[in-house]
Amino acid sequence: MYKHSTAPIMAASSILRRSVFRTALAAPSTTVRLRNIPAATRFFSNTSAFMSPSPSSASPQATIATGSLPSTIRHPRVLVTGSLGQLGSGLVKELRSMYGNENVVASDIRNAPEDFKANGPFVFADVMDYAQLEGIVVDYKIDWIVHYSALLSAVAEKNPALALSVNMTGFQNVLELAKVHGLRLYSPSTIGAFGPSTPKIDTPDVTIMRPNTIYGITKLHNELLGEYYREKYNVDFRSARYPGILSADTPPGGGTTDYAVDIFHHAVRHGHYDCFLKKDTRLPMMYLSDCIKGTVDHLVHPEMLPQAVYNIAAVSFTPEELASEIRKYLPHFTISYPDPAHPDFRQAIADSWPASLDDSMARRDFGWKEEFGMEKMVKLMLDKIQAQVDAEKRIAMTNGSTAAAMSA
Ligand SMILES: NC(=O)c1ccc[n+]([C@@H]2O[C@H](COP(=O)([O-])OP(=O)(O)OC[C@H]3O[C@@H](n4cnc5c(N)ncnc54)[C@H](O)[C@@H]3O)[C@@H](O)[C@H]2O)c1
């Protein structure tokens, strides 16, 4: 765990001086206030060199009332790796609404759709290529990295060697870049970092962690290495252990909690779902917008917090409980479960994870609080997917009538 010392204060102070010098040249006469930043941290947290508004307090300009250091504060420049995944595109959108499109560089190992590229900078980046990443950091004058590139649990279990490379070498690269270039690094962990011997109910931040999946092993490695760099080199490493994330607009990337997204699509489109987990498998879950909000609040927090890694949680439910909630809107919805004699490979992964998390430290230290409980989340997921299905039908009808008109 991180302990306070003067070293981080001195390092952060020097970063602040460099940034103030740069921005003072650009706009020497403006005077402003930093909001929500305790006076004691204004000059010693490296965050205070930038505007760090929560989404609700974002404003296009801010300056610092320093007396001797009048200056316009510029927005941080953020690189998001793995930005085309389930979580990345929403986070990029949110950060761009706070800091401006040009200040948020999206990247991935896949090519982005044209409409995504039209909204702001997008670069191809393989996180296993340190030199390529460093070129981006230097060229775009990056201040913060949000590292989302990873192979998720089910995909990783099918290709452990690739998971070791992407999840561990990729993380080591961004961590080293954070050290060399004085960057803040946010890299999420997961409930998969716990293991079968971890207490299952209200699992605390610090507990027994002996994961037995390759995903969990790589993520626990990253947590420990991030803490080591924070302690030894004062790297501002931040992480939260995400539960399963539900979203209607972006498909999940191959995790064990994917059933909780797939079930909605099947319920709306087919009225039935073949679940790959047992009916009583309880896992922690969260709606995407809560995950993005919690991530942003954690990322922009002006101080290095007492812990590098926090649990965050919203709800916990079983497939059967989720199916019952869906039936309130779709009474004819049916669900089936695997033959107990032939469980899906993801059952063993789920069985090794906590059923619920204690996230009281995140609530205390950066004000984490979810907006979506089970009822609200289910209603919104069904509404959004129904809207998608209706739109698809309209397009099919338009295409059908166009084809009929052309053949007539
Ligand atoms: N989605 C969840 O339910 C969940 C839960 C817990 C933790 N997390 C964590 O959140 C982060 C984002 O997850 P996600 O759901 O968006 O994942 P995802 O699988 O949907 O997206 C990951 C992205 O990483 C990219 N990628 C893969 N290999 C790469 C490489 N070599 N270089 C660069 N990019 C590469 C992929 O193209 C993909 O776009 C991950 O660290 C994941 O472990 C997610």
Q: Is the CB of 244 under 6 A from ligand 1?
A: yes
Catalytic hit among 140, 215, 229, 259: 215
- Model pLDDT, residue 397: 87
**Residue 15 confidence (pLDDT) above 50:** no
186 tagged catalytic: no
Whole-prediction pTM value? 0.85
- Model pLDDT, residue 49: 55
* 189 CA closest ligand 1 atom index: 7
Which range has the worst mean pLDDT, 36-45, 143-152, 166-175, 203-212?
36-45
Q: Comparing 15 with 400, which gets the higher pLDDT?
A: 400
Residue-wise DSSP of 230-275: HHHH--EEEEEEE-EEE-SSS---S-GGGHHHHHHHHHHHHSEEE-
CATH 1.20.1250.20 fits 150-388, yes or no: no
User: Residues 15, 44: contact at Cβ < 8 Å?
Assistant: no
- Model pLDDT, residue 59: 36
Share of the chain above pLDDT 70, in %: 82
Q: Is the CB of 245 under 6 A from ligand 1?
A: yes
What residues contact 335, with CB distance under 8 A and at least 6 apart?
263, 272, 273, 274, 275, 279, 319, 320, 323
User: Residues 320, 280: contact at Cβ < 8 Å?
Assistant: yes
- Model pLDDT, residue 150: 98
Mean pLDDT score of the chain = 86
The angle, 0 to 180 degrees and rounded to 10, between the axes of the packed helices 170-181 and 214-233 is: 10
- Model pLDDT, residue 72: 66
**Residue 43 confidence (pLDDT) above 70:** no
Q: Is the CB of 85 under 6 A from ligand 1?
A: yes
The partner residues of 73 in beta bridges, in order of sequence, read: 62
User: Residues 303, 47: contact at Cβ < 8 Å?
Assistant: yes
What residues contact 331, with CB distance under 8 A and at least 6 apart?
none
**Residue 9 confidence (pLDDT) above 80:** no
**Residue 32 confidence (pLDDT) above 60:** no
Under DSSP, the state recorded for 74 is P
In angstroms, rounded to a whole number, what is the distance separating the alpha carbons of residues 131 and 365?
Answer: 35
Band of pLDDT at residue 50, cut at 50, 70 and 90: low
**Residue 51 confidence (pLDDT) above 60:** no
* Cα–ligand 1 centroid distance for 398 (angstroms): 36
Q: Is the CB of 87 under 6 A from ligand 1?
A: yes
- Model pLDDT, residue 74: 86
Q: For 339-350, what is each residue's pLDDT tens digit? A: 999 999 999 999
Nearest-CA residue for ligand 1 atom 19 is 253
Ranges of CATH 3.40.50.720 domains, the chain: 150-388
Q: For 144-186, what is each residue's pLDDT tens digit? A: 999 999 999 999 999 999 999 999 999 999 999 999 999 999 9
**Residue 270 confidence (pLDDT) above 80:** yes
User: Residues 257, 243: contact at Cβ < 8 Å?
Assistant: yes
* Cα–ligand 1 centroid distance for 83 (angstroms): 8
Q: Which residue has the tokens 């090519």?
A: 111
- Model pLDDT, residue 408: 67
* Cα–ligand 1 centroid distance for 319 (angstroms): 24
Band of pLDDT at residue 42, cut at 50, 70 and 90: very low
Top mutation candidate among 108, 157, 187, 315 for ligand 1, by most atoms within 8 Å of CB: 108
**Residue 10 confidence (pLDDT) above 80:** no
In angstroms, rounded to a whole number, what is the distance separating the alpha carbons of residues 233 and 185?
Answer: 13
Under DSSP, the state recorded for 45 is S
Cα-Cα-Cα-Cα dihedral of 216, 217, 218, 219, to 10°?
50
In angstroms, rounded to a whole number, what is the distance separating the alpha carbons of residues 81 and 125?
Answer: 8
Q: Comparing 267 with 403, which gets the higher pLDDT?
A: 267
What strands, in cross-sheet order, belong to the sheet with 315-317? 244-246, 283-287, 315-317
Average pLDDT on 40-50 reads 38
Average pLDDT on 267-282 reads 98
Q: Is the CB of 234 under 6 A from ligand 1?
A: no
**Residue 13 confidence (pLDDT) above 60:** no
* Cα–ligand 1 centroid distance for 329 (angstroms): 32
**Residue 37 confidence (pLDDT) above 90:** no
Nearest-CA residue for ligand 1 atom 38 is 85
- Model pLDDT, residue 302: 95
Helices (H), 50-108: 88-99
- Model pLDDT, residue 406: 76
Q: Are strands 272-274 and 144-147 parallel, antiparallel or unpaired?
A: unpaired
Average pLDDT on 193-204 reads 98
Helices (H), 110-258: 114-118, 130-139, 153-158, 160-163, 170-181, 214-233
Closest CA to 192 of 164, 154, 148: 154
